[in-house]
Structure 1
Amino acid sequence: MKTQMPGGAGAQHHQHSRPGADSHSIITLNRVSRDFGRLQALAPLDLEVGAGRVLGLLGPNGAGKTTLMSIMACELAPSTGTVTVGGTTVTDTSAARRARRRLALMPQRPASVPGFSALDTVEYAAWTKGLPTRGRRETCMNALDRVGLAAQAKRPLRTLSGGMVQRVHLAAALVSRPALLLLDEPTVGLDPAQRIAFRALVEELEDTATVLATHLVEDVRALSDEIMVLDAGQVRFRGNTAELEVQVSPDAPGDNQLERGYMSVLSQEQS
C-alpha cells in the first residue's frame, strides 16, 4: 500500500493506517524524564506506541528529540520513570540488553566502517541482533533488496553516494524485523523518489511500532498517526495532523498548513 502524498485528499486523517495492523503496545514510557546536572533535557512524559503505528517527533534543534530517542533505544537511562519495550521493563543493564534485541535505531549520523561493503554493514547489524548464521546472508540480501540496493551489495560504502549509504543503514535497521523502529532524520540525503520509496517501506511495517524524528514536516504528514512537538524538553503539542493544522496563528511562517501549525505551536510557547 502506498501512502497518499502531502496535499492529496484526506491526507490529514491517519491516511497511512494499514489493514490488519495490531495496536497492542510495543513501547510504553511512564513519567520518563532526563536531567543532565541542573539542565532538564526532558520533562516527565507518558508515551505509548502500538504495533503498526507511527509517532512523528517534531521540534527544533535542542528540543529533546535525540534524548527521547536514546531513552527509547535503551541506550540512555531516564532520570525518572520506566521504559517498557516488547513487554520488558528496563530496570537494569541486563533488561536493557533484552529490550534492545526487540528494537532497531537508525541514528541521524550512523557510524560506517569505511572498509565494509553494503552487505558487510547489514550482516554486521544482523550479527549484533543475534540472527542465526543459517540463512543470514539471504536475509541481509532481502533487506538490501527492500531498499533498492541488492545490486550494490558488494560495493564498499566509501564508493556509494550519501543517499545510498543512508539506505544501507535503513536496511541494517530493518534486517532484524524489529518490533520497535526508531528513525532519527532517516530521509536526510535522499532524493524525492527515494523519500517516497522510504515512506512506502514504513507503510509495510504492520507489526512494527515506528518513531520518526525529523525536521521534514511533509514526512510527518505522510506517515504519522500521532504527532508530538517537543521544545526545550517540554511537550508542546500532541495530536494528529488535522489537530496541528488548526493551531495556525496569524502571520505564521511556513510553506503549508501543517508547517504553519507547527511554527505557531512553537511561537505560542516563546511569546
Structure 2
Amino acid sequence: MLQKKQVVTGEEQQVVFTIPIFEPMPSQYYIRVVSDRWLGSEAVCIINFQHLILPERHPPHTELLDLQPLPVSALGNREYESLYKFTHFNPIQTQIFHTLYHSDTNVLLGAPTGSGKTIAAELAIFRVFNQYPGSKVVYIAPLKALVRERIEDWKIRIQEQLGKKVVELTGDVTPDMRAISQADLIVTTPEKWDGVSRSWHNRSYVQKVAILIIDEIHLLGEDRGPVLEVIVSRTNFISSHTNRKVRVVGLLYIFYSTITACLPGCCQRPRPRRLAGHRTGGSV
C-alpha cells in the first residue's frame, strides 16, 4: 500500500504481481499500473519477449551416453565373469559400470523393475572385493522375504563360486559373533542393522564396513524411512571417527503414474521392455 510518508521521503515503490503468458506468445507486453486512490498516478512498462527463453514445460529426461553394450569381460576377472550367463551388460549397466566398478563415489540408482539393479549392486560389491580385502559389505533390504531371496542367490553365486562368506542377519536368523566377524557380505534389514550399528564402538565388524547398499530406498517416505535416515547418518558418523570411507549405494524403483507415463520427458530407451501407450477419451 502506498503511504504519504513514503512519497515524501522519496522512497522507491515496488509493485509485485504475476501475469500469464499465452500462446502464441506475443512480441511484447504493455503493463499499465494505475492507482485507484490517486488521480494521475500511473506507470507504463513495456516488456519485450524477443529474447525471452521459457523453461521446459516438462523436464527432459537424462539422455544416456551413446555407448556400445559393454562385454562382461570388462570385469577383468574370470571368476566374476562366470557368474553371468549373458555376454554383455544392458544399456543402464553399461552407463554406470565405470562409476560402480572403478570408483568409490556414492551412487543413487533409479531404474525400472527388471533393468538389472541387483547386478549393479554386485559391481559395487566386486569393487570392495578387489580394492579392500578384509572389509565388509552390508546389503540392506526392507523385507525379510527380499533378504531371503538375496541369501539364496548369493549363497550359490558369491559364497560357493567366489569363496566369500555370506551371512543373513535378521530377526529370524541371528548368527553368532564369530560368523558375523568372518563374513564378507552381510544381508540384513533396516531395523536389525540399526540395532547392531548402535554399539559400533564394541563391534569391530561394524567399523570394517566399506560399503552400505540400501535396496528399495524409495521407501524412505514410508514407516521405515526414519530408520534408514538414522542408518545413513550413523554410517557417516562412524566413517568420520574411524577415518574409513564408507560408500553408500542406494537402489530405487522408478514407477510411472498414469499421468507421467504420457509425458514426453519419459525415456523408453533404457527400459528392458518398452511401454505400450494407449490413449482413451471421455467426458468429465
TMscore range, shorter length: 0.3 to 0.5
More strand by share: 1
Q: Radius of gyration: which is bigger?
A: 2
Highest RCO, 1 vs 2 (Cα 8 Å, sep ≥ 6) = 1
